[in-house]
Amino acid sequence: MPFNLLVVACLLYVVFLFAVAFIVERRAQAGRLGWLRSPLVYTLSLSIYCTAWTFYGAVGYAARSGLEFLTIYFGPTLVFVGWWWLLRKLVRIGRQYRVTSIADLISSRFGKSNTLGVIVTIIAVVAATPYIALQLQSVVLSFGVFASATPDGVAPPDPGSTAIWVAVGLALFTILFGTRNLDAKEQHHGIVTAIAVEAVVKLVALLAVGAFVVWGIADGVGDIIARIDAADLSAWQVQPGRWAGLIFLSAVAVITLPRMFQVMVVENDDEGHLARASWAFPLYLMLMSLFIVPIAVVGLDRLPAGSNPDMFVLTLPLAEGQGGLAMLAFLGGFSSATSMVIVESIALATMISNHVVIPLWLRMRPAAAAGDDLRSVVLNARRVAIAAVLALGYGYYHVSGGSAALAAIGLIAFLGVAQVLPALIGGLFWRGATRVGAIMGLVTGFVVWAYTSFLPSFGPGAVLSDAVFAQGLLGLSWLRPQALFGTEAMDPLIHALFWSLTLNAIAFCIGSLLTFPGPVERLQGAAFVNVFEGSVGPQRWSKGQVEPEALLTMAQRILGEEEALSLFQSSAREQGKDSFLPDPTPGFLNRLEAQLSGTVGAATAHAMISQLVGRATVTVEDLMAVASESAQIMEYSAQLEAREAELTRTAGALREANEKLTQLSIQKDAFLSQISHELRTPMTSIRAFSEILTEGDLPPEMVTKYGRIIHDEAKRLTRLLDDLLDLSVLENGTVQLNLGLASLQQMLDTALTAARQTRPERSFVIHRDLPSEAIYIKTDADRLTQVFINLISNARKYCDAAKPELRISVRQRAGRVTIDFIDNGKGIPKESQSLIFEKFARLTDANRAGGAGLGLAICREIMTNLGGSVAYLPGQGGAAFRITVPLRLEKLAA
């Protein structure tokens, strides 16, 4: 097999994955995911548990240590078939509290403590580094296998540069698809689907090689069994400690590995999928391991002594002259390595940005809280973090030289992340677990792991000197890294497992028993432990003294304008208000915090809201909920609370209606006096001048002048009556609409030209985004243009900025088009925002620029008739109006 063919195949495969991810992202944005959200995709995405270590390493492991490789798959099998114990709760909590990573889960459970988030992040990064190095190494090794098989082919690059290319390629892919947008739920459908495709590829590849070995090389199942019996797999000495310990370790790892947490909890769309995965994922694991032993046995038998058993999956088909099969196997291994690295680096980047970079950023620049767009900071932080994680992995590969057997590194990484276990289990099932306990446990476990397992993995004399290995730290023999407290007889890995987790758990328990948790911690604890009872909510905000507009500005910076506005609008509607600004009730603040924490993590979201609202106070009800274990009171108060919320909502609606009625009544009087005034003024001058004219003997130029005045006044009168007539037709809904397809861009052009007549002396800077305006709308173009003209003229009339600017932005979403007109003036004061659409509502008499104050009222009626709406948009830094029209307006049956 020529080496360049291999490279081309690799590139084609990557392009194919790109296409899959891209198409799925597009469909996800359009909201058409369909079967892509099925339990099948979920189960397949879980298969990133099987990395290159499984794909290549399992055979090597079997060749070296017999059946022990099975323990790596038995642990996850036990965890998944026992999903009712732990995974169900984990996924429920993850979904309910919008957990973004395992660090976020721990930090959130222990009182939204960012210190814990940082500790877990550090552990995860340190443990993942060798694991990523392992994946790079496997890709490099598999390239090397093909290279050595082609004596006449193009000379392959040396391993070092292959590793660099692979690392850079993976970083690019991950950055492209993992950080395209900030999702409120931190999900990446494109990547998950690509991972699922890769899962199929690696399974098919391994099964194909296995089938070839069993039925192609050997004579079917019977022959294989005979060969296994005959083979001298010298190493399966049952070590009960290792056997049980490794099952335990892999069971823990499948829960705590950041990438597993990402696909299992964060990317989960539906809790029901877990039920299916509970047996389907173990089935996948079993199929992956089905042919490992036959491949190992036949490989040892057929291949020359001294060949690397880690590469049997590739070398065996190559030696038998099956180039195509070897290529398939190569792609399988490539898939295993890439999918693991991609998801792992996304998970780690989320942790790093949410727990390290953003808190630092907010602390260093508290002023920034009111200014720039945080979304780009978060996204850039993630991009850099992904690159950094891969660079670390490459660095480890480079330093370690990629020599050690694959399995050893994998197990060390497993043990590293396993240190999260006591805090996780304690946090989920024990309300007495405290923050201090969790910190103590994690730090202890991490230090012991580093000392007994991670640092020794570099070999004696590398990080820890020979003297430390032989005599212990500071010459204390009971501190030898592989024989703590004199336990010399243990296997090094089991020794590290035993001591790190035991000391970790002990520190965790002692810390928890001796300290007293704060109120936030206690509430979070109760909320997490009793997540299925649902009677205790998480910690609540008291009603804050905060302008909702400030909250909106902050939310826009994190969630994006669109998302934030729709969140605020729907909350306002729930409170019975018809605007974009809800009252800052505790319920609303909680909802906002939950939404924000889905993007930047619980601790940061909490900190940002309390920056505006002030310290979160724990209310009396909360304290009662903590103090009282009685379910009766909780249920009673929950029902009362529900009723109270209902009442508040109704009262809010009533209050608003009442306010409006009062205002309307005042307006009605104003309307009458206004209309008589508006009608009388022209009438008076017409009468006066016509009287003068009837007296006769006036110079002709005076006659012309008076005649013109009479004409103008009559015109004004007609216009006023026209407007009134228009309004009443529109209000009665008897208007005739001229439906047709019209270009939005053309309508805006017309409107801008027409509106230039209003105060032509002012020069306006207009910001438009022409490509977004290239939409054809089926509507009544004249009417819609009339509305545009009105809004633009209003901006020209009332915008009080020295250098007036008008921004027109168009968005299309779900069959509706929204057009925003935003100027940079002072805007409209809050108390008048609900009045401007009423008849004869003029805000300042000082600024009378003709017109009778009917413009916006007419606009509103037109939009209602066009099946859309026009609304005032607060918090945009000026007066802003949003028009919504349906893309295709169908004629009403009436």
Partner 1 sequence: MMARKKPPLFLARAPYRRRRLRDAARLLPILGIFLLLLPLLWTEESRLNLSAVDVIYFFGVWLLLIGLAAAFAPGLRKGEGLKEEED
Residues in contact with partner 1 by CB under 8 A are 66-67, 70, 74, 77-85, 225-226, 228-229, 231-234, 236-238, 240, 243-244, 247, 271-272, 275-276, 278-280, 282-283, 286, 290, 293, 532-533, 631-632, 635-636, 639
Angstrom distances, CA of residue 268 to CA of 22, 39, 90, 532, 770: 20, 10, 11, 18, 39
The dihedrals phi and psi of 890, each to the nearest 5 degrees, come to -95, 150
Nearer to partner 1, 247 or 866 (CB): 247
C-beta of residue 723 within 8 angstroms of C-beta of residue 852: yes
Q: Of 227 and 577, which CB lies nearer to partner 1 in the complex structure?
A: 227
State the minimum distance, in angstroms, from the CB of residue 568 to partner 1: 30
Rg (CA), the chain: 35
Q: Which two tokens stand for residue 836?
A: 């401007």
Residue 261 C-beta: closest distance to partner 1, Å: 20
Please check whether residue 868 is in contact with residue 884, taking contact to mean a CB–CB distance below 8 angstroms.
yes
Angle at 89 between CA 501 and CA 431, to 5 degrees: 65
- Residue closer to partner 1 (CB basis): 325 or 497: 497
For residue 590, give the H/E element and its range: helix 586-600
Using CA atoms, how far apart are residues 132 and 325, in angstroms rounded to an integer? 26
Longest C-alpha distance within the chain, in Å? 135
Q: For residues 139 and 149, what is the distance between their CA atoms, to the nearest angstrom?
A: 16
Question: Which residue lies nearer to partner 1 by CB, 429 or 532?
Answer: 532
Least distance in angstroms from the C-beta of 39 to partner 1: 10
How far is Cα 436 from Cα 442, in angstroms, rounded to an integer?
10
Closer Cβ to partner 1, 646 or 722, answer by number: 646
* C-alpha to C-alpha distance for 775 and 780, rounded to whole angstroms: 14
Q: How far is the CB of 315 from partner 1 (least distance, A)?
A: 22
Alpha-carbon torsion, ordered 322, 327, 330, 335, to 10 deg: -140
Q: Which is nearer to partner 1, 79 or 253 (CB)?
A: 79
Question: 642 or 801, CB closer to partner 1?
Answer: 642
- In this structure, the number of other CB atoms found within 10 A of the CB of residue 409 comes to 21
Which of 372, 635 has the CB closer to partner 1? Answer: 635
Name the minimum Å distance from CB 67 to partner 1. 6
Cα–Cα distance between 71 and 553 in angstroms, integer?
A: 53
**Sign of the CA dihedral with 696 first, then 702, 708, and 712 last:** negative
Tally of residues, the chain: 894
Distance in Å, CB of 120 to partner 1, minimum:
26
Least distance between partner 1 and beta carbon 234 (Å): 6
CB 524 within 8 A of CB 111: yes
Decide whether 290 or 425 has the Cβ nearer to partner 1. 290
Q: Which is nearer to partner 1, 158 or 271 (CB)?
A: 271
Tokens representing 478 are 């009971």
Residue 85 or 478 with smaller CB distance to partner 1: 85
What are the tokens at 748?
Answer: 């805006």
Query: Which residues in 205-217 are b (16+ Cβ under 10 Å) and which e?
Result: bbebbbebbbeeb
Nearer to partner 1, 639 or 746 (CB): 639
| Residue number, 70 or 166, with CB nearest to partner 1 | 70
Q: What Cα–Cα distance (Å) separates residue 736 from each residue in 730, 781, 789?
A: 9, 13, 20
Q: What's the min distance (Å) between Cβ of 289 and partner 1?
A: 8
Q: How far is the CB of 312 from partner 1 (least distance, A)?
A: 16
Q: What angle do CA 440, 442, 443 make, to 5 degrees?
A: 65
Kindly write down the DSSP assignment for every residue of 481-496, as one continuous string.
Answer: TTEETT-TTS-HHHHH
Q: Are 170 and 19 in contact (CB under 8 A)?
A: no
Contact status, residue 337 vs residue 84, Cβ threshold 8 Å:
no
Give the three-class secondary structure for 799.
coil
CB of 233 to partner 1, least distance (A): 5
Nearest to 285 by CA among 277, 274, 273, 295: 277
Q: Report which DSSP code applies to 888.
A: B
Least separation, in Å, of the C-beta of 519 and partner 1?
26
**How far, in Å, CA of 469 to CA of 778, rounded?**
80
Consecutive H or E run containing 472: none
Minimum CB distance to partner 1, residue 644 (Å): 13
Distance CA 7, CA 587 (A): 56
Minimum distance, C-beta of residue 212 to partner 1, in the bound complex (Å): 19
CB of 294 to partner 1, least distance (A): 9
Closer residue to partner 1 in complex, CB, 226/462: 226
Of 77 and 101, nearer to partner 1 (C-beta) is 77
Q: How far is the CB of 579 from partner 1 (least distance, A)?
A: 35
Tokens of 726: 């228009």
